Structure 1
Amino acid sequence: MEKGAELVRQKLKYLSSLNEVDSRNYLGLWAIEEGWGGISKVNKLTGRAMDTIRKGMKEIKSGKNIKSEMGRLRKEGGGRKKILDKNPEVKIDIENILEENTAGDPMSKLKWTNKSTYTIANELRNKNRYISEDSIGRILKQLGYSLQANIKSKESGSSEERDSQFRYINEQVKIFAKKNMPIISVDAKKKELVGNFKNSGRKWMKKGKAEIVNVYDFWFL
């Protein structure tokens, strides 16, 4: 009994070292050796799918060389297809979800959104499209979105019409763009101290040559 268990352990160890094609062939050979009920037995011992074991048996019995094109394991173009290749309409759905919640850098083509991949996935589910958050993240990168720092959400007060104002401006931008009319983007920054003072942010400098600034913002301290 112990001898049989040890043999199974050795087989499983060897199986884990094989590539996709060789492991499938080995499973098929193992099932053939087991005789009647071999597929079910190998399935229980290894946890591998019965269809995979059956395919391995067919390949062993046919004797054909599965590896082709200088050792290629899959046919060219094989493997899982990209989501946008299979469902190009997903791109349109995501763009529609993001349309009113997108900001952009006026100096580049980068865009970002305050909607999380979790939120987008939920909205897609409402359209009967089931896509993982990781996949949505990859699609956003393909659409030109970049991952940005945390958004400040706490504020002392906010205009009740702020959202409607933003949507109105967004619609005006679309109208002007269709008419090929100029659109001016104003990027407002918070007030910063001018001079030899500490300000947030970083800039490229030579190593060990960081700019020296005052410890305090007020000269009398």
Structure 2
Amino acid sequence: MIEAYPQKIETQMQELYNRLLEKHKRLYAGIEALKLAYGGVTYIAKLFNCSRNTIKHGLEELGAEEILPRIRNRKKGGGRKAILDKEPDINEVFLCLIKKHTAGNPMDETQKWTNLTRANMSDLLAREGFKVSRNVVRKLLKNNGYVKRKPLKNKAGGGHVDRNSQFERIAELKDIYTAEGNPILSVDTKKKEKIGNLSREGKIYTTETIEVYDHDFPSLAEGVLSQVLLEMQEA
């Protein structure tokens, strides 16, 4: 008897054969037998532990028309219904939940933003009986005009009268110290966060782009919050 395939390939063929339905087993066995010369039917019958008649039946089916099922596309409207379609009240509940965590621009009622994350929103909806994924929350946000954006530095804050002079003074001192052979150290002081209509790291969900000053001058800030205080608040 012929030995057509190495043992590793035979094992893979057997695993595939054992996972098929009976009809598909016959067809698969028939196809493998056709690949081989004389003795192929006997070899495949022994490999798949099936009878020669099973393989011959499969060969006959391969020659018949309309034996193999054609690929069928899902009918329009088929499949599981999306939760947004099944639960028409979820959007109203969603808007009520984020209302307490929404701020806006008093000069532009269309500009709103929320400090909630999608995970936060998913948890709030779950408490109201809507167990949804973050992807569903993303669709709810999009349906209501909320898109994740960064603040846009588009507002001119103007220049400070002392802005240029301070850099001139720094350059002057640097030249003096360099001329005397002293080292120049650049020190990164403890970070402080300026409060006001200034740019921030990260993104939030907003209905419109939030415009902030194009420069973060201290004179444009309403105050300063130290990093230590920020850490205490987060804790």
> Is the pair's TM-score, using the shorter chain for normalization, greater than 0.5?
no
Higher strand share: 2
Bigger relative contact order, structure 1 or 2, given CA contacts below 8 A and separation 6+?
2
**Larger Rg computed on CA atoms:** 2
